[in-house]
Amino acid sequence: MNVIATVLWTLSSLTDGFIAAVLLLLRVNEFLGSIIIGACFYATTVLRYLLKCLYQAYIELTFFCQDIVSFVGFIINVTDALVHGSADCVVKTFDALLRLAAFLKTSFVNGCSGVASAACTVVSSCYGFLTLLLNSAVLLLQMLPYTAFQVGRYAFYGVSVTVRSIVTCVTVAVGSVVSAVVSAACVLSQFLFGQPEDVYTGLIILLLTAITLKIAVRARAHQTVWRRLLRLVNAITFRRPQRRRQPSGPRGSPPSPPFTMTLRRSTSLRRDRLNRLEQELEEEREKQLCVVCLNEARSVILLPCRHFALCIQCLGTLFQQQHQTCPMCRHIIYEAIPVYA
């Protein structure tokens, strides 16, 4: 029983270690997966915001171009209005001049001197007015190309600055994402494939040991089941009543005993076998029961004496006492390991 308890304790320790290693590997995989998912999430978020910024910049640029077109149309309309106004002024001026000529003609008939002086004054006034009007038209025509050139230059500068800033932001974001992904891939590959050879050898040894232990435990379980089945078959065979066989000896053999003596002897032998079998079964059952309550199955290994003698309920009762000692060897109990079948 001590050897079985030691083997079971060793198997439980190895199983716990293997489970802890698998849990650690799963946690590492979960941590790496969370890192990769977070990086992808941040990358997609940055790209989405950049696309929104580009879309907003495109919309603003469209509105700006529409405003420029509207402004140019407004300038053209103003110029057209000024030209038409100037033409109307010239036409009206010529009309006034014609009227003035008629008036001068009439005045010349009435009085040459007064008319001549008045005509000179009017002509000089008209000449000054025409000169100012023509100079205004020339200045207006010179101002239109200059204004269009300045507006186009400032618009081109604003568009170039906006495009340059957008390209710079996109380049920096893409470079950051690519560098983060490359660094994460390098770290992951170094962690997975850059370990020493002892790590992979230890992993292979651990897997082979786990497979061997699994096969051994399964073989032990099959062996135990077969042994219990054989014991059950033997018990059923011994409990089954034996058939009476008639002696068929050769001639000259001694006469067989009477039937009554044969029946009594077979009955006594069968009773002895049944009693011996019941005694063996009772001893085997007592070996599997708790030594304190003799009711529950043994399920606790006591250390350091390694006695497999108590159940869970009796162990709790024993821990409530002041002196915690083994009921078989009276050694002090340092640790109790539960074993579940």
Per-residue pLDDT at 220? 84
Q: What integer pLDDT is reported at residue 235 of this predicted model?
A: 73
Provide the pLDDT for residue 325.
84
Coil vs helix vs strand at 132: helix
Mean pLDDT taken over the chain: 79
φ and ψ at 335, to 5 degrees? -155, 145
Question: Is it the case that residue 183 has pLDDT exceeding 50?
Answer: yes
Task: Return d(Cα 328, Cα 330) in angstroms, integer.
Answer: 6
Mean pLDDT on 18-38:
85
pTM score over 0.85: no
What confidence score (pLDDT) does residue 264 get? 55
Predicted local confidence at residue 296, as pLDDT: 84
Domain segments of the chain: what residues? 2-194
pLDDT of residue 240: 55
d(CA 106, CA 101): 8
For the chain, give percent helix, strand, coil, nearest 5: 80, 5, 15
Residue 41 pLDDT more than 80?
yes
Does position 244 have pLDDT exceeding 50, yes or no? no
Per-residue pLDDT band at 243 (split at 50, 70, 90): very low
Least confident of 36-45, 214-223, 284-293: 284-293
User: Is 136 in contact with 143 (CB distance < 8 Å)?
Assistant: no
Read off the pLDDT band of 82 (50, 70, 90). confident
CA distance 180 to 265: 94
Q: Is the confidence at residue 241, as pLDDT, over 60?
A: no
How far apart are alpha carbons 340 and 301 in whole angstroms?
11
Answer whether residue 259 shows pLDDT above 60. no
Q: How many CB atoms lie within 10 A of CB 318?
A: 19
The stretches of the chain forming alpha helices (DSSP H) are: 2-110, 112-193, 197-239, 259-288, 312-319
The answer on pLDDT for 70 being more than 50 is yes
Per-residue pLDDT reduced to its tens digit, 210-235: 888 888 888 888 888 888 877 777 77
Banded pLDDT at 337 (limits 50, 70, 90): confident
The proportion of the chain whose per-residue pLDDT surpasses 70, expressed as a percent, equals 87
What pLDDT digit, counting tens, does each position of 103-124 carry? 877 777 776 666 667 678 878 8
Widest Cα–Cα separation across the chain: 203
